[in-house]
């Protein structure tokens, strides 16, 4: 767990991007629906279904990382306890799904090793300060992870098109359906995509800490989703 590689993630730009979450919460899911051309919740459900298909049973204790309004936890069935962790109190204030809400960051999660059966992260890993530290923490605190997030296509043309879409189309499209102070924050998705590693590099980072069981891309690589299991030993995985 101690090997460090060159950092990927938003770094110093994180504060600039995080400010957006304080503003967009009012029209959050509507804006997402427009920005993803309707795919947002379908891909959340697909990600969560990877877990049920592989393990059958319901997870008992779940942490929702970057939970916001709790859209990922809402896709889960039969769970006993959900802890929502998010850096933005305004986003957490909308969350009616969680049993416990904690303001904190991915890169330093306030939990013991193996505290959870499952970690879910919906559209939040892309906004990390440091993606490697975040994925290391995800693997440390939970046995299994289900993540869906904005990606960066491996294909050069698809990557170029995504950068053009996020810069010149997406904010204006969202402006057709949401108040101006909300939609202009969606310009920051371009900053996020610029800072991201490509999907195959991201997968390599995750694999340093977890065994990737299923990894899929959607929307020509603009979104990825995966199921992974922690590489921590069973003694570290105590509750
Ligand atoms: C786009 S929202 C996703 C909300 C919800 N999971 C969903 O599926 O819609 C991303 C959330 O991640 C949180 N976030 C971003 N970076 C974070 C970090 N490094 N640590 C903790 N939370 C973070 C933001 O505050 C925001 O509420």
What does the H/E/C string look like for 200-217? HHHHHHHHCCEEEEEEEE
In a domain, 238, yes or no: no
Report the number of distinct structural domains present in the chain: 1
Question: What confidence category does residue 185 fall into, taking pLDDT thresholds of 50, 70 and 90?
Answer: confident
Instruction: Judge whether 237 lies within some domain.
Output: no
9 Cβ below 6 A of ligand 1: no
Alpha helical stretches, state H, the chain? 14-24, 28-35, 40-55, 89-92, 131-141, 156-164, 170-175, 180-183, 188-195, 199-207
92 lines ligand 1 (CB under 6 A): no
Give a yes or no: residue 7 inside a domain: no
Per-residue confidence at 97, pLDDT binned at 50, 70, 90?
A: very high
Cβ proximity of 141 and 63 under 8 Å: yes
The answer to the question of residue 152 being in a domain is yes
CATH of the domain at 63: 3.40.50.150
Decide if pLDDT at 198 tops 70: yes
Pick the range with the lowest mean pLDDT from 75-79, 122-126, 129-133, 197-201.
75-79
Q: Is residue 66 part of a domain?
A: yes
Residue 57 in domain? yes
User: Is position 235 within any domain?
Assistant: no
Residue 166 forms part of a structural domain: yes
What phi and psi, each to the nearest 5 degrees, are found at residue 215? Answer: -135, 120
Q: Is 114 in the pocket of ligand 1 (CB under 6 A)?
A: no
State which residues form the domain around 124. Answer: 12-230
Name residue, tokens 């993606």.
Answer: 131
């Amino acid at each position: 767990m101690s090997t460090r590689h060159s950092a990927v993630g938003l770094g110093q730009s994180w504060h600039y991007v995080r400010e957006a979450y304080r503003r967009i919460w009012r029209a959050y899911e509507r804006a997402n629906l427009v920005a993803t051309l309707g795919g947002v919740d379908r891909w959340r459900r697909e990600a969560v279904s990877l877990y049920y298909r592989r393990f059958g049973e319901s997870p008992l204790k779940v942490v929702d990382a970057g939970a916001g309004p709790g859209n990922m936890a809402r896709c889960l069935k039969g769970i006993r306890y959900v802890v929502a962790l998010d850096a933005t109190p305004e986003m957490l204030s909308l969350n009616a799904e969680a049993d416990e809400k904690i303001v904190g960051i991915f890169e330093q999660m306030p939990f013991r090793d193996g505290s959870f059966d499952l970690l879910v992260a919906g559209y939040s890993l892309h906004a990390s300060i440091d993606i490697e530290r975040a994925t290391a923490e995800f693997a440390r605190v939970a046995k299994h992870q289900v993540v869906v997030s904005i990606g960066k296509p491996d294909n050069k043309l698809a990557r170029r098109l995504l950068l053009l879409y996020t810069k010149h189309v997406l904010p204006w499209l969202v402006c057709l359906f949401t108040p101006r102070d909300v939609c202009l924050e969606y310009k920051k998705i371009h900053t996020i995509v610029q800072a991201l590693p490509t999907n195959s590099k991201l997968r390599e980072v995750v694999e340093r800490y977890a065994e990737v069981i299923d990894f899929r891309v959607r929307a020509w690589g603009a979104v990825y989703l995966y199921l992974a299991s922690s590489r921590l030993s069973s003694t570290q995985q105590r509750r």
